[in-house]
Chain A
Amino acid sequence: MVKILQKKNFCRWIDSLSRQYALIGPVKEREETEFQPLRCPEQLEMDYISTMAAPRKFIYPSRQLLFRFTPQGDDQLITEEILPQSQQILLAVHPCDAHAIMVLDRVLMGEFTDSYYTKQRQNTFLIVLNCQKVDKNCFCDSMGTGPFLHSWMGQDPAKGCDLELTDLGDRYLVEFLNGKIRKLFSFPLETANDEDIQLKKKREVGIKEKFIKKLNIENLPSSLRQNMDHSVWSRIGEAICLSCTNCTMVCPTCYCYNTVDTVKLDLSKSERYRYWDSCQELHFAEVHGGNFRSTRGARLRQFVLHKLSYWMEQYGCFGCVGCGRCINWCPTGIDLTEIVKEIRGTKINEQYS
């Protein structure tokens, strides 16, 4: 169902949303825009480009209490599981981030089901906002996840998202992707005509021309696999990479976590938390007898190859949605698209030599 919302009515439309849901959207914070719980719809930064933290943190929190356990008697434990209770609507999520959440769905609600993620995901509505601007490090167009919402590698927006918004200047095109979310709004909308739908198509063509950053994904998984020993890994790993984990922490599809217990000093109560872990940390691949990724180069290769190669074998899609965050927030400017170019370049040279 396709509708039209005049921009002057936008705040009233958001305000009409059912009160039982927490609203989360892009809000100005210092020099950036970040996803935050909204106090009022006026706070929304609808023309933001990107955020540091991906919206995944509202479904898969950076630090999460999983359960409490209390010893009773000599050898008994009473366990109390803490499942997330909040019901929420994520507003103005860009298509790359929406696909990233659907990628996480494959990982955490697929063959193995993460009960904490599943519970929060089922209580989350996704309102997608098609992009109007392209940043210098955006390459969703190359990956196929953006700048407008479409199906991607078996991920159907109609299944994973709830509503699609497109900025048409003085009005939004509102496309309900399922019936559930429509009932949450009580503000009446106009019906869209053919002209509006044509304008959306025109806008999509227009924005697609603006991409500067590109990544050639043809045969990418296999060509990276053939270059495990390429000199780019040790060169960047030793000289440039800080192993600071920023790339993985801002990545919208990273899902690794570690668990930690906190125990009260009188040993009466314990809590188990999980928090985002990172393959860029030294301890990540530490096992009895050694560490199988003890160099920074090996850890950087793990990040790039997991996103662009192994993910395909594991889950049937790329682990990269082209949001550009790992490039934006790398303190030393490491760019995975440049790494891919260097590797592909060498391949061509080898063919000619």
Chain B
Amino acid sequence: MKKNRLAIFKYSCCAGCQFQLFFFQEHVLETLAAVDIVYCKMGASGGVKEGPFEVALIEGAITESWQIDELKRVREVSHFLIPIGSCAVNGGIPAIKDIYPEMEVEKRVYQDLSVIHSVKAHPIDDYVRVDGYVRGCPMGERDLLELLTSLLLNTKPSFPEYCVCVECKLAGTICLLMSEGKPCMGPVTNAGCGALCPSHARACYGCWGPAPNVNAPALAKKFEQLGLSPDDIVRKFTQFASPKIEFRKGAEMYE
């Protein structure tokens, strides 16, 4: 059987999602047996950057123009193109800067701004058509496995498209928001992590980004009732997915 060619392209991010592929627990050997990883900067130097690819995984947000050019070329030669991790799916950590003027952000770090070519951070689907999302920060193991098995079986992958509350209830984890008044992002955050933080009595901080059709303004109001300051509320909704309209709506009222 001809093996599927898989390539991973990295833009602005910490590379943690690429590493997640090597920390894929018991599935590493099976993955290597099932697909041919032809380009993966963090795994091996060199590699084949040219297509065609059965699947291209994209990590990181878009913050420079060369990334857009490359991304569009990759799209043309890839059967499936999947953003992996919060930066590629939602803008992620790099997009925290999106709520400030670019110059203000750059000045904090650099003296000579003329060498900086960065623009505001964008998720991958702002520029090209995508065939699904493997969410998470880093990307979720279950979703990655689902993607790979669907690729092998030629079926549509089934990713969770509901909020973290569902996973808490399925696991029988007591609701931190209602029982202890902790400002939990669970009601608006996409599931897939297995409600990891709430199961350790920590409020969800939304690292997987928004679930579809969520009501961030209503949750922001709830946070206000719990005593959070406007700044804290803005931070909650801009930490991992500030370009996403679902979360923007929660932050806007308090900016």
- The judgment on whether A and B are partners is yes
Interface residue ranges, A against B (CB under 8 Å) = 29-32, 34, 52-53, 57, 62-63, 238-246, 249-250, 260, 262-267, 275-276, 278, 281-283, 294, 296, 328-332
Query: Are A296 and B33 in contact, CB atoms less than 8 angstroms apart?
Result: no
Would A267 and B161 count as touching, CB distance under 8 A?
no
Are A332 and B179 in touch, CB under 8 angstroms? no
Nearest-neighbor residue (CB-CB) of A266 within chain B: B30
Q: Is the CB of B218 within 8 A of A63?
A: no
Interface 9-residue window, one of B70-78, B115-123, B147-155: B147-155
B interface residue count range (under 10 / 10 to 19 / 20 to 34 / 35 or more): 35 or more
A242–B152 touching, CB < 8 Å: no
Q: Which residue of A lies closest to B171 (CB)?
A: A62
Asked whether B179 lies within 8 Å of A30 as measured between CB atoms, the reply is yes
Establish whether residues A250 and B170, one from each chain, have CB atoms under 8 Å apart when the complex forms. no
- Cα A329 to Cα B170 in complex, Å, equals 15
For chain B, residues 44 to 80, give those with C-beta under 8 angstroms from any C-beta of chain A. none
A241-B215, A267-B153, A278-B166 known; 18 new pairs, CB 8 Å cut-off, are: A53-B172, A63-B170, A240-B215, A242-B219, A243-B163, A243-B215, A244-B187, A245-B163, A246-B165, A246-B169, A264-B30, A265-B31, A265-B149, A281-B161, A282-B162, A283-B212, A328-B178, A331-B178
Residues of A within 8 A of B174 (CB): 29-32, 34, 52
Shortest Cβ distance from residue B149 to the other chain A in the assembled complex, whole angstroms? 4
Tell me whether B179 and A296 are in contact (CB under 8 A).
no
Is B177 at the interface (CB under 8 A from chain A)?
yes
Q: Would A31 and B169 count as touching, CB distance under 8 A?
A: no
Q: Is B165 in contact with A245, judged by CB distance below 8 angstroms?
A: yes
Contact A278 B162 (CB under 8 A): yes
**Interface bits B6-39 vs A (CB < 8 Å: 1, else 0):** 0000000000000000000001001101100000
A249→B165 contact, CB < 8 A: yes
B201 at the interface (CB under 8 A from A): yes
Name which residue of chain A comes closest to B142, CB basis: A262
Cα-based distance from A52 to B165 in the complex (angstroms): 13
Verify B187–A242 contact, CB threshold 8 A. yes
> A245 CA to B189 CA in the complex, in Å?
12
With contacts A31-B179, A34-B172 taken as known, whether A282 is within 8 angstroms of B27 at the C-beta atoms is no
